[in-house]
Amino acid sequence: MATRTLTKGLLGLRQSRTLFVGQSCGGLHFSTAASVEVSPPQADSISEEVLKKPDFFHLSELFSLKDLFNARVHLGHKKGCRHRFMEPYLYGCRLDQDIIDLDQTMEHLQLALNVTAHVAYRGGVILFISRRRQFGHLVEATAKSCGEYAHTRYWQGGILTNANIQYGPDVRLPDLIVFLSTLNNVFQQHVAIRDAAKLAIPTVGVVDSNCNPNLITYPIPGNDDTPAAVELYCDLFKATIIRAKDKRKQLELVHRPSTPSAKRS
Amino acid sequence: MAALCKVVSGVGSRIRLPSSRLLGSTSSGSSGRDRPAAERPKSGFAAALDLQSELQRNAEDSRFPPGQAETFASMLRRSPLIQMGPAKDRIVFGTIFHVVQDDLYIDFGGKFHCVCRRPVKGETLRRGSRVRLRLQDLELTARFLGASSDTTLLEAKAALLAPLEGSHGRESQG
């Protein structure tokens, strides 16, 4: 244990030596304790190791095409409800009902879950939003079970844009917003999509064939009306976030056994 | 009993019936027990079962070569929703997943559920009951004057039919 801390300290000194090369006097190099802590190798490995692989958390094993199909994710609304910008995501139209292309959905879902996992890994605040009253309780329960937040009630205008006045100074805004349904109760786009784009908060959203996918950073084309589909999404997001948080705890124990982890309050 | 013993051994069951020794016929007596079960020639039901299961396995393998998962296109083509065709006047089975006094919310496998009024003799219908429906529409939508897109009710329309085992029940409109 003592030798490990000694080598850690020496490595830190070596790094600081290259930085302070101009300030050496007579071959002696001085460095304060603060400069040693600036970039210890173990902090890099925790935050940079995850970025080296495309699917670090193995999220592709959480879902399959068959699961999406059985949960009726490919069913869209009728042809008359179609949004023009959803046309690239549609497989076709069968007897006036739009069918969403599940091959594209698989790719988009993989990207979205990956982003969610990375945000959760770094201790980010994730907010689930859905104005569907049928699934309000399910979304709130999902958020609670993975230790994140949910907003399934009426959205007051300035929740994000006026947060400092409505909630007090220095309020922490979400780092990622996940929409289980991007429409509100009058079939208009949810205000939070526009507000998140204004505040540069990345969004993940399930877009049905009548939704506008424009402002959503990681859209997931899929059904947002059937309980089976929404339960599948909730289970996937919950599993992703829990997996990412567990991985973080595991890697912190491996790399920093003595120092306590910097958890968010 | 001798035929039953052969079926059990043919299907590959590991459980040895102790009574087979006593009740087995003389032809499949000591000579039959000396040879292992796999070498005995199968006949009757056992042979037919083996043949049919092998045919089914070959059919499955030729459809999906090993290592290649089923594509979305083939899953869609074979799905009951597509095979059904137009939804008008099709008979389907649904399950009641929510009840509000006289309104039954029934899920039949489509995108939306349908809401039907409880029939006069429908006191036994509750959450989890399986019912028969005649579908009218998979999604109730209409384009109103001045609107840019259809207005949808987020519901399907179906009529509740009488249960199969009962005689001449009354239909209830959805």
Q: Write the ipTM.
A: 0.78
pLDDT, position B12: 45
Q: Do A97 and B154 touch (CB under 8 A)?
A: no
With vertex at residue B151, the alpha carbon angle to CA B148 and CA B152, rounded to the nearest 5 degrees, is 145
Nearest in space to A204 (alpha carbons), one of A228, A172, A180: A180
Name A28's bridge partners: A25
Residue of A nearest to B75 (CA): A69
Each residue's pLDDT, cut to its tens digit, for chain A (265 residues) gives 444 444 444 444 444 444 444 444 556 666 565 555 555 555 577 888 899 999 999 999 999 999 999 999 999 999 999 999 999 999 999 999 999 999 999 999 999 999 999 999 999 999 999 999 999 999 999 999 999 999 999 999 999 999 999 999 999 999 999 999 999 999 999 999 999 999 999 999 999 999 999 999 999 999 999 999 999 999 999 999 999 999 999 999 998 876 555 555 4
Closest residue to A210, CB basis, from B69, B76, B149: B149
Pairwise CA distance, residues A239 & A108, whole Å: 17
Position B20 pLDDT exceeds 50: no
Question: Is the Cβ of A255 closer than 8 Å to some Cβ of chain B?
Answer: no
Rg, C-alpha atoms of chain A: 23
With vertex at residue A51, the alpha carbon angle to CA A49 and CA A55, rounded to the nearest 5 degrees, is 105
Q: How far is CA A168 from CA A148, A164, A171, A173, B18, in A?
A: 21, 5, 6, 12, 80
pLDDT digit string, tens, across residues A6-63: 444 444 444 444 444 444 455 666 656 555 555 555 557 788 889 999 999 999 999 9
pTM summary value: 0.75
pLDDT, position B66: 59
Q: Do B111 and A66 touch (CB under 8 A)?
A: no
Q: Are strands A203-207 and A176-179 parallel, antiparallel or unpaired?
A: parallel
Quote the distance between the C-alpha of residue A237 and its chain's center. 9
How many angstroms away from the CA of B35 is the closest CA of chain A? 45
Q: Is A157 helix (H, G, I), strand (E, B) or coil?
A: coil
Average pLDDT over residues B126-132: 93
Average pLDDT over residues B11-34: 46
How many angstroms away from the CA of A88 is the closest CA of chain B? 17
pLDDT, position B15: 47
Please, what is the average pLDDT of chain B? 79
pLDDT, position B169: 42
Residue of B nearest to A230 (CA): B111
Q: Do B149 and A103 touch (CB under 8 A)?
A: no
Question: Is the Cβ of A97 closer than 8 Å to some Cβ of chain B?
Answer: yes
Average pLDDT over residues B24-49: 64
Cβ–Cβ < 8 Å for B52, B10: no
pLDDT band at B165 (very low <50, low <70, confident <90, very high): low
Residue A222 phi, psi (nearest 5): 180, 170
Residue of B nearest to A210 (CA): B149
pLDDT, position A49: 87
Nearest in space to B91 (alpha carbons), one of B159, B168, B166: B159
pLDDT, position A13: 44
pLDDT, position B122: 86
B157 secondary structure, DSSP code: E
pLDDT, position A10: 44
Amino acid at A100: I
Amino acid at A26: G
Cβ–Cβ < 8 Å for A99, A74: yes
pLDDT digit string, tens, across residues B42-96: 888 999 999 999 998 887 776 666 557 889 999 999 999 999 999 999 999 999 9
pLDDT, position B43: 84
Position B5 pLDDT exceeds 80: no
